[in-house]
Amino acid sequence: MAVAEILVTPTRSASTATRPLRVCHVSLTLKTGGLERILADLARHHDRAVCLPEFLAIREVGRFADEIRDAGGIVHRLRPSGRWGQIQQMRRLFREQGFDVVHTHNTYPHLYASIAARLARVPVVVNTRHGQRAGHGWKSRTQFRWASHLVNRIITVSDDAAKLCIEVDGIAKGKVQRIWNGIDLTDFAFSGPASQPVAIAVARLSAEKDFPTLLRAVPLVLASVPDFRLRIVGDGPEREPLERLTVELGITRYIEFLGERTDVPELLKEAGFFVSSSLTEGISLTLLEAMAVGLPVVATAVGGNPEIVVAGKTGSLVPSHDPQALPNAIVTMCRNQSAWLAMGKSGRDRVAGNFEVGRMANDYEQLYLDLITQG
């Protein structure tokens, strides 16, 4: 299927609603993660003349709920209950608040909030599928397909995910629309790459990020680039096994595990380039952030990564889970230091032109207006 067959968002027309639309974003939590960060950014960047956003967490709230409130957003949270109880709570909330749009994020809210929204007779219901839904079982896939009958539009964050929706999940092409994620460039000022062969990886330490392949690449890189170093930012269930692997490989002096950090922009500025060994991605926010700061990248050609990285211009792409391709690409990057600044500038320009948060918010607002107008 050609990319052109996937719906893209038109420019906002002069015709708008007579009042701001009331929109409720529904997520499983507002605690931690890339999806939750997107919602906090939308709270800051939605145009209040077009839509008044509120946010509902089905389960836990946390730092991103605080950020949403700081931006003037309203946060709701369900009381603990069974699934039918959750549906009833959401139905009452949607009806009492008179939302024009319920916007769900990922599969669990897609299913249960969509049922509640239809029971409450909400005019427009949309879902954003963040990532590729890799690793989901048949039950989750069946729920996703069934719930898709209840919504006006399925949004994917990459062309790759849109293709999966159509060809694997069987969603009609006319119901699928791609809206790329965006980041706030004011949080990630351009600084360009540092001068040392220091790579940085920023990700949750979980199986789909495939850090073992990256760690096993390090001894091969060191054989050619003895001053190479790797800094890993993030935490997760794989941290202890990964730390044990560094000991087994004898590379502990070359690796830093920095854990969860709140100073990622500053850490990115201290690196020469960014590296990702992930097995699956939607539109990686950490990859966008690294490019915004001006780092060239070495990343796996999975999910939306090829939509972000222009090979040879902003960095390089390698096959996933390839124990030879990844170290080769890192060595090549280290030896091509004279091109880092140009790659970094091209990366910044690409993010600013295609993956900026204001554009993302505008695209969602135009979608709401179009669907309301269609009735």
Find, among 317, 318, 312, 274, the residue nearest to 296 by Cα: 274
CA separation for the pair 171, 179 (Å, rounded) = 17
pTM of the predicted model over 0.85: yes
Question: Which fold is adopted by the domain 3-182+356-374?
Answer: Rossmann fold (3.40.50)
pLDDT given at position 292: 98
CA separation for the pair 286, 104 (Å, rounded) = 23
pLDDT given at position 271: 98
Q: State the residue for tokens 């389960």.
A: 59
CA separation for the pair 297, 295 (Å, rounded) = 6
> Which string of b and e fits 155-180 if b means at least 16 CB within 10 Å?
bbbbbbbbbbbbeebebeeebbbbbb
Tens digits of residue pLDDT in 174-204: 999 999 999 999 999 999 999 999 999 999 9
Copy the structure tokens of residue 35: 């999806």
Delimiting residues of CATH 3.40.50.2000 domain(s) in the chain? 3-182+356-374, 185-354
- Other C-beta atoms closer than 10 Å to the C-beta of 37 total 17
CA separation for the pair 176, 156 (Å, rounded) = 7
Return phi, psi of residue 128, to 5°: -105, 125
- Those residues with Cβ within 8 angstroms of residue 96's Cβ, 6 or more apart along the chain or in another chain: none
Return phi, psi of residue 324, to 5°: -105, -40
Instruction: Give the residues of the chain that fall short of pLDDT 70.
Output: 1-17, 132-137
pLDDT given at position 18: 80
CA separation for the pair 66, 61 (Å, rounded) = 8
CA separation for the pair 233, 241 (Å, rounded) = 16
pLDDT given at position 142: 85
pLDDT given at position 43: 97
pLDDT given at position 14: 36
pLDDT given at position 3: 34
- Those residues with Cβ within 8 angstroms of residue 296's Cβ, 6 or more apart along the chain or in another chain: 193, 273, 274, 314, 315, 333, 339, 340, 343, 344, 347
Find, among 245, 263, 262, 265, the residue nearest to 254 by Cα: 245
The Cα angle at residue 313 between residues 307 and 314, in degrees rounded to 5:
60
Tens digits of residue pLDDT in 70-91: 999 999 999 999 999 999 999 9
Domain spanning 185-354, CATH architecture: 3-Layer(aba) Sandwich (3.40)
CB contact at 8 A, 315 and 305: no
For strand 153-156 and strand 74-77, is the pairing parallel, antiparallel, or unpaired?
Answer: unpaired
pLDDT given at position 136: 59
The Cα angle at residue 104 between residues 299 and 146, in degrees rounded to 5:
95
CA separation for the pair 40, 73 (Å, rounded) = 9
For residue 333, the one-letter residue type is M
Find, among 288, 374, 322, 361, the residue nearest to 103 by Cα: 361
CA separation for the pair 270, 41 (Å, rounded) = 25
